[in-house]
Structure 1
Amino acid sequence: MVVARTVPGVVETAALLRELTARLIGGTDLDEALGRLARIARDAVPGATGCGVTLLRGGGPAAVAATDPRLRDLDHPRHGADGPAMTAIRRRELVRVAELTGETRWRRWTRRAVGLGVNALIAAPFDVDDQVIGSLNLYARRRPGLTDSDQLTAMLLAEHAGLLLAAVRDRAGRTAPVDDAVGSDSGTGVIGQAIGVIMTQRGCPAPEALRVLRTASSALSIPLREVAERLVSSVARPRRS
């Protein structure tokens, strides 16, 4: 009997986003954050055997990360617009291929991908800011490849990652505001997770999310860390029907 994979529930989704937030929000190195994103996305999607991230930075070089060096080369923009990642970025829409051997849109790229054992793929675009755009690229070697549930997970990860990478990019430019306020060791802890939650809910940068936390802490006369813990716990708690 074949058991269909289901869409992740509230608790699973909250845990996934919490892990992604914790792993990305505390960093100031964008390239390192991309590598972490690729590994988390691969592990989060049951049908994926590899993941790459392609990032285009206006006025600067492109950035690529992958769980496998061969996929990193496959995702690199130096190969031009011939590929699903660049198509997803250019058109700002998700690209999904269930069976790559029959694909005709990117013939040269497809030959290289099939040669690496890639059978199916999903490329989910995301925006970091006005100058940086990217694509989260999931690859499967085994059949039946990637499912509708995997597609939803990829879209969720890509959207959330865009917000978090914006914070990483902002911290790389000016780390002092957040570091001085919450301590150098708390960015990857509960305060960093809470900042990520607020960024996702409000679509705001990390410094603004921190101000929201501090305002709540002052209004409630509760320590900043406790406010963060309550917020993170409320997101992870399953809702009653």
Structure 2
Amino acid sequence: MRPETKEITTESLGVLETAALLRELTAGLIASSDFDAALAQLARTSRDAIPGVSWCGVTVLRAGEPASVATSDVHRSDLDRLQYGADGPAMTAIRQREMILAEDLRRETRWPRWTRRALALGVHGVLSAPVDIDDQVIGSINLYSGRPGVLTASRQLTAMLLAEHAGLLLAAVRDRARQSELAGELDETLAGGEVIGQAIGVIMTQRRCSAQDALQVLRSASAALSLPLREVSERLVGSAARPRG
């Protein structure tokens, strides 16, 4: 075999591996409308598809909500949680919006507390890639190896492509989840029918507000009380109908 042929074959193999990874990831997330389940699928797919990766974690920050963590190994989930990860590679990648690589944690000095925890759990190398999902959600994909010198700079391109592709897919998952939630609210409103309309009228009278604002008040009460919109409306209408002493 001529040298140039061997070089092309090796390069093509890397391209094929990456394409297979992205196809598998797309197949796993393309129809999902459950964001947390999608994160778990991402962690499993990344662990199984990338050579040299022993475990994978995903850290996600959502505006106004607690951080979400998905992991391929529950015994190492602490590495991606803020409890240990505030000064670790995951949060560094999120803050700096750049790839973070530590080929051998025995020689790492950037995150002393996190590194001690990682080594105790058998982790010797890490590669964290930032993920941009939408205006409200950012995160990182964290690839871990049980041996030093396995996750090297040569894996950074694959990790970058994985993170960019995952960001697009997770944004679509969030859109589907929002659409599903809106459809559920519409179904609930239609099912509630007259009583929800009556409740909206009561709130409009009491607060001198628009119908849209009144519906938002009902929705907020429903969420705060963890009750269906119809039941909250029935209670409000019943209370308004009772004669005052």
Superposed CA deviations along residues 134-179 of structure 1, whole A, max 9, x for unmatched, are 00000001243213332221111111000000000111110399xx
Tell me the residue number matched to 1:97: 102
Partners in 1 of 2:13 and 2:158 — Cα distance? Answer: 8
Tell me the residue number matched to 1:61: 66
1:141 and 2:156 aligned:
no
Matched letter for residue 38 of structure 2: A
Partners in 2 of 1:148 and 1:43 — Cα distance? Answer: 19
Partners in 1 of 2:11 and 2:125 — Cα distance? Answer: 19
Contact 2:101/2:153 (<8 A) preserved: no
Tell me the residue number matched to 1:21: 26
Give me the CA root mean square deviation: 2.3
Q: Which runs of 5+ in 2 are unaligned?
A: 1-9, 183-245
Quick check: which one's helix share is greater?
A: 2
Query: SS of the counterpart of 1:174?
Result: helix
Partners in 1 of 2:19 and 2:103 — Cα distance? Answer: 28
1:37-186 alignment to 2 at 5 Å? 37-79=42-84, 81-175=86-180
Partners in 2 of 1:15 and 1:29 — Cα distance? Answer: 23
Cα distance, 1:80 vs. partner? 5.6
Partners in 1 of 2:146 and 2:12 — Cα distance? Answer: 21
Matched letter for residue 117 of structure 2: R
Partners in 1 of 2:170 and 2:121 — Cα distance? Answer: 29
Contact 1:53/1:137 (<8 A) preserved: yes
Q: 2:40 aligns with which of 35, 40, 53?
A: 35
Tell me the residue number matched to 1:11: 16
Partners in 1 of 2:97 and 2:139 — Cα distance? Answer: 9
Partners in 1 of 2:154 and 2:145 — Cα distance? Answer: 14
Task: Give the TM-score taking structure 2 as reference length.
Answer: 0.66
Which has the higher Rg, Structure 1 or Structure 2? 2
Paired residues in the alignment total 175
Cα distance, 1:9 vs. partner? 3.9
